[in-house]
Amino acid sequence: MANPAPKTDSGSSFEADAARIGNVVDHLVDALGGEPACTLRRAVILADIDQYPGSTQAAIIQRLAADKSALNRDIEWLYDYGCIMRQVGRDGREIKLFTCGYAKKNLDLALAYFNNSHKSLKNFLIHYIHMFGQHRPTLRDAKIIATIGEKGSANRQMVFEELYNGPLTTDNRAINNLIVTGLLEKKKQDE
């Protein structure tokens, strides 16, 4: 089934692309149970399972060079939130994984920006993750960076308005963490 056309934004190419990155993050939040606290890494795993339906955990570990216990936690989380389903293989031992329901639907919306290429989506997410260095970025972090990147500068209120109706203290803490990690800085501006 064809996906609906991604939202487009006016403005310069850079600003428009930054805004579209924000839209992709929104779709990923929707795909991951409406949880902006989810890591971008988890979004990569979801995209990988969607790319290879029926994958086993071992196959994902091999493809993503993932740590087994960390991946196990991510898979459990995705299952608990109804993002993936499990199917027992013919031998009764293998567990095959598939994306399903709202996760698949919203992931498809994110994929539409990448001409439905999982590879391109994962590649983009990996670049985004690398931008954060040692910090493990959440979807909320990604949205904050995209929002400020698009606007050039923004006060906290402007950023909160773009976020996900979570507790203000959580959003504030996320911004403060990004300041501490050296990605954001505060500049005084006369009003």
Partner 1 sequence: MSIAELTLTEPAAAEFKAVVDVFSAATNPAAGYAATAASLQLGDGGAGGFAGLFGGAAPAADGGAAPSGGDGGAAAPSPE
Distance between CA 146 and CA 159 in Å, rounded?
A: 10
Shortest distance, position 80 Cβ to partner 1, whole Å:
20
Distance between CA 62 and CA 151 in Å, rounded?
A: 39
Binding of residue 191 to partner 1 (CB under 8 A): yes
Please work out, in degrees rounded to the nearest 5, the angle formed at the alpha carbon of residue 29 by the alpha carbons of 25 and 31. Answer: 110
| Nearest Cα residue to 162 out of 44, 29, 33, 43 | 29
Residues 119-158: x/- map of binding to partner 1 (CB under 8 A)? xxxxxxxxxxxxx-------------x--xx--xxxxx--
Stretch that binds partner 1, among 25-33, 92-100, 114-122, 160-168 (CB under 8 A): 114-122
Shortest distance, position 191 Cβ to partner 1, whole Å:
5
Binding of residue 113 to partner 1 (CB under 8 A): yes
From residue 141, alpha-carbon distances to 37, 154, 164, 176 in Å are 8, 15, 12, 11
**What residue ranges bind partner 1 (CB under 8 A)?**
13-14, 17-18, 20-21, 24, 41, 44, 48, 51, 61-67, 70-71, 113-131, 145, 148-149, 152-156, 159, 175, 179, 182-191
